[in-house]
């Protein structure tokens, strides 16, 4: 194989990888938009009358998680399953944000901490790495830590309002 053939092959490989990354980026942007919509909805609990609206807000948030499931199902098809960690950085932040949002909804509904398995059910992904697109323990824990900050904010708001 000549040097020019090697470079042509390499260029083809790089172009194909760039196409995959672009497809992933499009889905991640949709996930980020849906996450912002859920966050905006749930931020209403920090307002004066927000506590009375908690059940309604949680129900609407759960409806948005249906859209999240659709986007994540689409994301799974954009790359080979064995290359999960190769592209993980593209969706890591939004996945952590979605874990936080799921944890916040569960906390508002039941005043309990959500399990990793419950989050994977809400998001429509796997908890076991061997089964494909999954929720890492690190991403789960990062999302739960964001919840802790949100609950501190909520308690401060409660003191100001009451």
Separation of alpha carbons 20 and 26, rounded Å? 10
Domain with residue 50: its CATH number is 1.20.58.190
If one counts the domains in the chain, the total is: 1
Kindly report, residue by residue over 69-82, the tens digit of the pLDDT: 999 999 999 998 88
- Alpha-carbon distance values, 95 to 4, 13, 15, 133 (Å): 41, 28, 26, 12
What's the domain range around 126?
A: 3-161
Separation of alpha carbons 124 and 89, rounded Å? 19
pLDDT, greater one: 154 or 128 = 128
pLDDT at 119 (0 to 100)? 98
Q: Strand locations in the chain, DSSP E?
A: none
Separation of alpha carbons 141 and 123, rounded Å? 15
pTM: 0.90
Tell me the average pLDDT of the chain: 91
Kindly report, residue by residue over 94-153, the tens digit of the pLDDT: 999 999 999 999 999 999 999 999 999 999 999 999 888 999 999 999 999 999 998 887
Separation of alpha carbons 131 and 125, rounded Å? 9
Cβ contacts of 120 within 8 Å, gap of 6 or more:
126, 127, 134, 135
Separation of alpha carbons 107 and 147, rounded Å? 9
- Any idea of the CA torsion for 70, 74, 77, 78, to the nearest 10 degrees? -150
């Amino acid at each position: 194989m000549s040097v020019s053939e090697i470079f042509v092959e390499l260029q083809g490989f790089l172009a194909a990888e760039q196409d995959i990354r672009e497809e992933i980026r499009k889905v991640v942007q949709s996930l980020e938009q849906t996450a912002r919509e859920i966050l905006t909805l749930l931020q209403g609990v920090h307002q004066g009358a927000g506590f009375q609206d908690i059940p309604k807000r949680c129900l609407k948030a759960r409806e948005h998680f249906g859209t999240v499931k659709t986007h994540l199902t689409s994301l799974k098809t954009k790359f080979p399953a064995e290359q999960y960690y190769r592209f993980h950085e593209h969706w890591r932040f939004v996945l952590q944000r979605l874990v936080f949002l799921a944890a916040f909804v569960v906390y508002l509904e039941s005043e309990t901490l959500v399990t990793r398995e419950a989050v994977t059910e809400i998001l429509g992904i796997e908890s076991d790495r061997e089964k494909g697109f999954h929720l890492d323990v690190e991403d789960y824990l990062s999302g739960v830590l964001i919840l802790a900050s949100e609950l501190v904010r909520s308690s401060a708001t409660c003191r100001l309002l009451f």
